[in-house]
Amino acid sequence: EKAEIGLIGLGTMGAALASNIADNGFRVAVWNRTTEVTRKFHADSDEEDLAEQIVPTESLEDLVAAVAEPRAIILMVPAGDPVDQQIAALRPLLGPDDMIIDAGNANFHDTNRRARDAGDLPYLGIGVSGGEEGARFGPSIMGGGKREYWDRVAHILRAIAADHQGEACATWMGEEGAGHFVKAVHNGIEYADMQMIAEVYGMMRDGLGMDAAAIGDIFGRWNDGVLQSYLIEISGKVAKAVDPESGQPMLEVIVDAAGQKGTGRWTAIEAQHLAAPIPAIEAAVVARNLSSRRDERAAGEALFGPAPERIAKDLPMEMLEGALIAGKILCYAQGFAMISAASKQFGWDLPLPEIAKVWRAGCIIRSTMLDDMAWALGEDPNRNLMFAGYFADHLKTHHRALRRVVSLAARNGIAMPALASGLAYFDTMRTARGTANMIQGQRDFFGAHGFERFDGRSGQHGPWGRG
Ligand code: NDP
């Protein structure tokens, strides 16, 4: 009996995805560059009673022969050259109706190119979020490519995806790299959400002198409220965990230098190309980069004195929670506004409410708030979320808390780049008369760029006396 789908690359994600496919009753043929990995995977799958649904193969030819026509074969290999290499090796073995699906974290520009290079040969790029656990038990899947290609495999992708109250978290986003683009913005938002939580943790640890377990309790409590989310939940668990070796809180053992695979950076770079303001996400990318510079930071502390300092007065936890609520809304508002800008720029017609929905389960940024975002974007996908009723109400209530927390942090030398940039974004977006008149004056002074006047005339120059 032939397999309904094939999969290449039995690493962390590929193995979990193949098991998930098999677990949902689909026969899946698998191949891995290192054969030993395939054998071990198949042997291990016996423990989960999945071995019968999995067809191990030891050459690409055997893989192709094992899959029913028209074929669909998923690639789960590292993004970049390995994907191009696999496509080059696989395509000559496939028929004109056979489909290649790149399920890794491809840069969407690469997916655009590969979809174009494929011509009439079916190609899909799908973003898969949720880490290993998600891939095994239900990820969030963002699809890109021709709709008819998506429809051919949607029944499998929906079956393996996370379920949110009966709705599968697997959605077609648009042509070419649309799915990988949406996945990249997801990761950018993820960076900012994580960074804001880390900043609030920093306030509790350094500003208030709370120990890790107490901080864990606070996150645990917040997880019952507006902030309910996977990231708050795991932050609580991380804070409470104890190192079995030293008996110390894990947070005292883990080095303060964050890694990254680059998807947040892509989002920041793309946002600049689109002229889409996502300062909270950019701040989070910068914060990760700075976190790696531990020696420089140590030298800075030696030179400029101890920072951060304890804050003198008490800071109610509700205030900190309110600041995080406001920060989170502003960060997501920026992310969705960027998706809206890309949708117009690339002619993709990205389904914003559906994007909020597909993120409600399975992925790292899943949260209760996304339910409300889906609803607000359904009302008007082109309105910045900060202006949507429910979120505007939250911001009216909580922007003072954000202001208080950010100013306390500034006064005490506690770095809060993402929350502070969220506040600056908020203040900019609620200031009808800004300060760019000065910029225009400067530009006209040195470059004769001209400016518009409030009386409606344009193409004017100032009396700068430059001869
Ligand atoms: P792993 O490193 O665990 O596995 C990589 C797999 O790709 C291995 O099976 C490896 O085979 C194979 N491989 C590596 N290089 C090549 C190559 N040049 N040609 C053919 N096969 C190759 O990676 P992950 O499973 O973590 O990641 C896979 C993709 O999924 C990446 O794009 C990643 O960004 C993305 N992703 C990862 C997530 C995660 O949480 N880990 C979450 C979401 C997406 P071999 O055994 O021979 O080395």
- The answer to whether 87 and 116 have CB atoms below 8 angstroms apart is no
The pLDDT value given to residue 466 = 60
Q: Do domains 5-176 and 190-429 have the same CATH topology?
A: no
| Residues with active-site annotation | 183, 190
Q: Could you tell me the fold of the domain covering 5-176?
A: Rossmann fold (3.40.50)
Q: Could you tell me the two tokens for 96?
A: 């004109």
Give the Å distance between the CA of 275 and the centre of ligand 1.
32
Pocket of ligand 1 (CB under 6 A): 9-14, 32-34, 37, 76-79, 82, 85-86, 104-105, 128, 131-132, 261
Give the Å distance between the CA of 260 and the centre of ligand 1.
15
Count of beta carbons in the 10 Å neighbourhood of residue 447 = 8
- The answer to whether 76 and 13 have CB atoms below 8 angstroms apart is yes
Q: Could you tell me the two tokens for 76?
A: 């789960």
Residues 265-320: tens digit of each pLDDT: 999 999 999 999 999 999 999 999 999 999 999 999 999 988 888 998 889 999 99
Give the Å distance between the CA of 135 and the centre of ligand 1.
13
Nearest CA to ligand 1 atom 8: 11
- Substitution site in 8, 10, 13 for ligand 1 pocket (most atoms within 8 Å of beta carbon): 13
What CA–CA distances, in Å, run from 365 to 104, 189, 360, 436, 440?
A: 18, 8, 8, 35, 40
Nearest CA to ligand 1 atom 11: 33
Which sequence spans correspond to the domains of the chain?
A: 5-176, 190-429
- Which residues does residue 75 pair with via DSSP β-bridges, in sequence order? 8, 102
Give the Å distance between the CA of 47 and the centre of ligand 1.
23
Q: Could you give the CA distance from residue 455 to residue 229 in angstroms, rounded to a whole number?
A: 50
- Substitution site in 20, 77, 85, 261 for ligand 1 pocket (most atoms within 8 Å of beta carbon): 77
List residues forming the annotated binding site for NADP(+): 9-14, 32-34, 77-79, 105
- Substitution site in 12, 190, 260 for ligand 1 pocket (most atoms within 8 Å of beta carbon): 12
Q: Could you give the CA distance from residue 445 to residue 438 in angstroms, rounded to a whole number?
A: 10
Nearest CA to ligand 1 atom 35: 104
- The answer to whether 187 and 147 have CB atoms below 8 angstroms apart is no
- The answer to whether 353 and 381 have CB atoms below 8 angstroms apart is yes
What CA–CA distances, in Å, run from 255 to 16, 168, 284?
A: 29, 38, 18
Atom of ligand 1 nearest to the CA of 77: 7
The pLDDT value given to residue 314 = 84
Nearest CA to ligand 1 atom 5: 11
Do the strands 99-102 and 72-75 form a parallel or antiparallel pair, or are they unpaired? Answer: parallel
Q: Could you give the CA distance from residue 116 to residue 10 in angstroms, rounded to a whole number?
A: 27
The pLDDT value given to residue 368 = 95
- The answer to whether 396 and 322 have CB atoms below 8 angstroms apart is no
Give the Å distance between the CA of 92 and the centre of ligand 1.
22
- The answer to whether 285 and 261 have CB atoms below 8 angstroms apart is no
Give the residue carrying structure tokens 């030696």. 302
Nearest to 7 by CA among 99, 118, 85: 99
Burial (0-12, 13-18, 19+ Cβ within 10 Å), 431:
exposed
- The answer to whether 364 and 130 have CB atoms below 8 angstroms apart is yes
The pLDDT averaged over each successive group of 10 residues in the chain (467 residues) is 97 98 98 98 95 97 98 97 98 98 97 97 97 96 98 98 96 97 97 98 97 98 98 98 98 94 92 98 97 96 90 92 98 98 96 97 96 97 96 98 97 97 98 97 94 91 80
Nearest CA to ligand 1 atom 7: 77
How large is the ipTM?
0.97
Q: Kindly state the DSSP code that residue 41 receives in the 8-state scheme.
A: H
332 Cβ contact list (under 8 Å, min separation 6): 189, 369, 373, 385
SS3 162: coil
- The answer to whether 317 and 220 have CB atoms below 8 angstroms apart is no
Q: Could you tell me the two tokens for 262?
A: 């680059």
Nearest CA to ligand 1 atom 16: 82
CATH class of 190-429: mainly alpha
Give the Å distance between the CA of 349 and the centre of ligand 1.
31
188 Cβ contact list (under 8 Å, min separation 6): 263, 264, 266, 267, 268, 271, 278, 281, 284, 285, 335, 338
Sign of CA dihedral 280, 282, 283, 285: positive
List residues forming the annotated binding site for substrate: 105, 129-131, 186-187, 191, 261, 288, 443, 449
